[in-house]
């Protein structure tokens, strides 16, 4: 298995005295990479140390095949995190596919799991819907991606970039859309569900159903915007993370 340094990318520098700071582990969306969370890391530095999971198949891991089974991906990420114990409370933050992955990793880690889970822009595992976008042809898939706003339209309009991006995004869509929860759970940690108030793929009723997946405290937070509302709301998202830190510290 690749070294933890390939899986976990530190996104901002922290002073020596911040080594005991709470740690936020971010899980990207379908087609996303660790660097997508750099704006959040900048907002939180130096109070919260931000790491992001780098999935196989992108950036410095471009020569590795993408993982098309979300449970397999969760197994591998959980193994990495179990081998890198946190020196301070660890919070998970996942957006879209990343929310489900963060949840599945938390289940696998048990007592080593996060002090708080923040699930963004994704229906709860109990509200899985059958979708098969990963089977669309390239033109239709590119159109759907552009509609959601997660990938710059100019990148998809460039034939060379499109040829590089679409297979990766298709693989992630396959992992996300074929996911079905297995028996187990719920979690016991605090869980915060976030949603955009105009998200066409994660209606707030479905996001609210994350309450079924923890016995710990739960709350739903909404922010203006569609599926990728975070891109316009990083300061507000950072405030929500900071507000979760005292509760995480209390649990620790």
Helices (H) and strands (E) in the chain, counts: 9, 7
Where does the chain have alpha helices with state H? 4-7, 38-44, 70-82, 97-109, 138-148, 153-157, 159-177, 204-208, 234-251
Catalytic residues: 96
Alpha-carbon separation of residue 151 from 62, 113, 139, 192, 247 (angstroms): 18, 31, 14, 26, 34
**Count of beta carbons in the 10 Å neighbourhood of residue 220:** 16
Find out whether 247 and 169 touch, Cβ atoms under 8 Å.
Answer: no
The set of residues, in sequence order, having a beta carbon less than 8 Å from that of 247 and lying 6+ positions away, is 115, 116, 190, 217
Of the candidates 17, 36, 16, the residue with the CA atom closest to the CA atom of residue 26: 36
DSSP 187: B
Report the alpha-carbon distance of residue 91 to residue 89 in Å, rounded: 7
Of the candidates 199, 241, 205, the residue with the CA atom closest to the CA atom of residue 224: 199
**Count of beta carbons in the 10 Å neighbourhood of residue 180:** 9
């Amino acid at each position: 298995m690749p070294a933890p340094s390939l899986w976990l990318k530190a996104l901002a520098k922290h002073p020596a005295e911040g080594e005991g700071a709470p740690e936020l582990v971010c899980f990207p969306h379908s087609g996303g990479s660790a660097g997508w969370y750099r704006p959040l890391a900048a907002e939180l530095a130096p109070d919260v140390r931000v790491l992001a999971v780098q999935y196989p198949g992108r950036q410095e891991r471009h020569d590795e095949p993408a993982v098309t089974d979300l449970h397999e991906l969760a197994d591998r990420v959980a193994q990495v995190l179990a081998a890198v114990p946190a020196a301070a409370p660890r919070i998970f933050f996942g957006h879209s596919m990343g929310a489900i992955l963060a949840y599945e990793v938390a289940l696998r880690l048990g007592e080593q799991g996060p002090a708080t889970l923040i699930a963004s822009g994704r229906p709860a595992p109990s509200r899985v819907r059958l979708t098969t976008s990963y089977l669309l042809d390239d033109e239709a898939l590119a159109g759907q991606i552009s509609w959601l706003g997660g990938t710059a339209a100019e990148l998809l309009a460039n034939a060379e970039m499109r040829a590089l991006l679409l297979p990766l995004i298709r693989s992630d869509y396959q992992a996300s859309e074929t996911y079905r929860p297995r028996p187990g759970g719920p979690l016991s940690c605090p869980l915060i569900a976030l949603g955009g108030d105009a998200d066409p793929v994660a209606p707030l009723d479905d996001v609210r159903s994350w309450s079924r997946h923890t016995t710990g405290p739960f709350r739903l937070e909404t922010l203006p915007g569609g599926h990728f509302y975070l891109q316009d709301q990083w300061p507000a998202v950072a405030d929500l993370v900071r507000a979760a830190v005292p509760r995480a510290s209390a649990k620790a």
